[in-house]
Structure 1
Amino acid sequence: MTSQPTSLPEQRILLVHAHPDDEAIGNGATMAKYVAEGRHVTLVTCTAGEQGEILVPELEHLAADRDDALGPVRREELAAAMAELGVTDHRFLGGFGTYRDSGMKWHPEGHAVPADEIHDNAFWRADLTEAADHLVAVIREVRPQVLVTYDQFGGYGHPDHIQAHRVATYAVALAAVPSYRRDLGEAHDVAKVYWTAMSESRMRDGLRRLRAAGDETTFEGMDPEGPMLMASPDEDLAAAVDAQAFIEQKMASMRAHSTQITVDGPFFALSNNVGSQAFGIEYYRLAKGTLGPVGPEGLETDLFAGL
């Protein structure tokens, strides 16, 4: 039996993401919904996204191969995005600047792989135990019942997403061991761990609608009938959080990441053409814990289901 923080709401969720903007794209609606419902939402971001591609021409000088000053800008964008969602507890793993964005390149098969050149303090090169210990401290402080991160492939192969998965998975295990690093706080066992996901059937349907409308540029190169590396087969899904009522907050949080996401980019195009279901219903795979009560579609409608 573990105690819970007396100053925090009874239900608490911790999300572990690789870079600023990942959280808004994947879980922004869920985060806004849970904040509105009085649940405590904690976001841990593992890097500042220093290697990100800059979409604002007047800020291109901040790029890693020029002034290398994008990190502080993305830190401010993240703060603005969290304000849109109402999230007040957001942190960088180990503190801002501890781990740097590792960068990536595209493999011919359409997924990400590590870049040819990686900085010494890149997250991809982080010592796993050291990085996990930073997260253990957060887990034991906040004592969440639910943790959300990526699957073992990081969604599409980005090395920082894969490392975030590894760190989160290891930290959950270590945090539950009473004799491990007592200096990091009292042991806590996270009841449920989810991997963020995209529904394959919904993704295919959305792309079909876009192509039928003559849009060939949104998610260019993706065939609605072809491989869906970024999506999960529907039979692997465990939960669908319907937060369509919070789609505007999600879109506002995405707009806050202005160096990375444009309003005429693929995410906004998909939402505008397909409707709020495209990004207002967020899907998850259950990686740890017991499936709770499910809705009509056979999926949990709440990540706290059964707790």
Structure 2
Amino acid sequence: MLQPERQILVVFPHPDDEAFGVSGTLAQYAKAGTPITYACLTLGEMGRNLGNPPFTTREELPLIRKKELQASCEAIGIKDLRMMGLRDKTVEFEDDEEMVAMMTNLIDELNPSLIITFYPNYAVHPDHEATARAVVRAVRRMPESDRPRLYGLAFANNTVAELGDPDIINDINDVREEKMNSMRAHISQTGWMLQEEEKRKEEGATAENNWFTNEHFYSYRFDEDFEDSF
């Protein structure tokens, strides 16, 4: 397991972001009794998957994804879920300073020793990028001695070429079932991945490095900041 933490703050824009990238690590921390707050910015109401044939309508999808998010947090062991009320696929258009203020308020309230979010410029989706920028800006404005550690998820095609290999590789085999349950909770969006994993196992695949055995993070490099001036 990673080093002990006083309080962890997780900030992602969509329900299921936590399941894909960090649910195993968070489950380990939850089992150790570490307080975890998950600030989920939207309810993923613009999610692409409505089923074929459709299992819901666009109007009802937010209610489904809200319940899935709550079930995922329960599977992981997260007791403090904050649904921040922004709209899916519009996070990039929110006022920058209001976004930073939202993050600053969370940090001031919780005093986390670790924050987990996406890594700016390597997170692919515009909502991911806007979230990452706001978190980094909020932490950057803190006195350096007071800053929590900041871990970023990065998965753009150029990530390894430009950032190198992740400096944190966490073995989550001991909480594989918790991660699977977090993924299952978001079944409206993750069904395809779970099917692929079942097929992989049926074909005799062993536990090589994948999302269900290890989770990877990059410590944010303030000496290589994503903004040249600020």
Give me the whole-angstrom Cα distance separating, in 2, the residues matched to 1:164 and 1:271: 33
After TM superposition, the structure 1 = structure 2 runs for residues 8-19 of structure 1, keeping only pairs within 5 Å, are 11-19=6-14
Give 5+ residue unaligned stretches, structure 2: 224-230
TM-score when normalising by structure 1:
0.62
Matches of 2:82 and 2:76, distance apart in 1: 15
* Selected match of 1:173 from 140, 149, 162: 140
CA–CA distance in 2 between the matches of 1:270 and 1:15? 31
Per-residue deviation, residues 264-286 of structure 1 (Å, max 9, x unmatched): 64663587335274122111111
What residue in structure 1 maps to residue 226 of structure 2?
none
Query: For residue 218 of structure 2, what is the amino acid of its counterpart?
Result: R
State the SS of the aligned residue for 1:149. strand
Q: Does 1:71 align with 2:62?
A: yes
Q: Could you tell me which of 195, 210, 223 is aligned with 2:152?
A: 195
1:154 Cα offset (Å):
4.5
- d(CA) in 1 for partners of 2:108, 2:159: 32
Is the contact made by 1:194 and 1:285 (CA closer than 8 Å) also made in structure 2?
A: yes
Distance 1:18 1:274, change over 3 A: farther
TM-score in terms of structure 2 length: 0.82
Alignment of 1:94-243 (within 5 A): 97=85, 99-102=86-89, 122-155=90-123, 157-174=124-141, 176=142, 189-197=146-154, 229=157, 232=160, 235-243=164-172
Instruction: Considering fraction of residues, name the structure with more helix.
Output: 2
Amino acid corresponding to residue 82 of structure 2 in structure 1: R
Q: How many residues align?
A: 214
User: How far, CA to CA, are the matches of 2:41 and 2:54 in structure 1?
Assistant: 23
Structure 1 residues 153 and 69, CA gap change in structure 2 (3 angstroms): farther
The change in CA–CA distance for 1:124 and 1:266 in structure 2 (over 3 A counts) is: farther
Q: Which has the higher contact order (CA 8 A, sep 6+)?
A: 2
Using the aligned pairs only, state the percent identity.
29
| Unaligned stretches of 5+ residues in structure 1 | 1-8, 103-121, 178-187, 199-227, 291-307
Change (3 A) 1:22 1:264: closer
Instruction: Indicate the SS of the match to 2:189.
Output: coil
Q: Which residue of 1 aligns with 2:228?
A: none
Residues 73 and 59 of structure 1: CA distance in aligned 2, closer, same or farther (over 3 Å): farther
Aligned CA-pair RMSD: 2.7
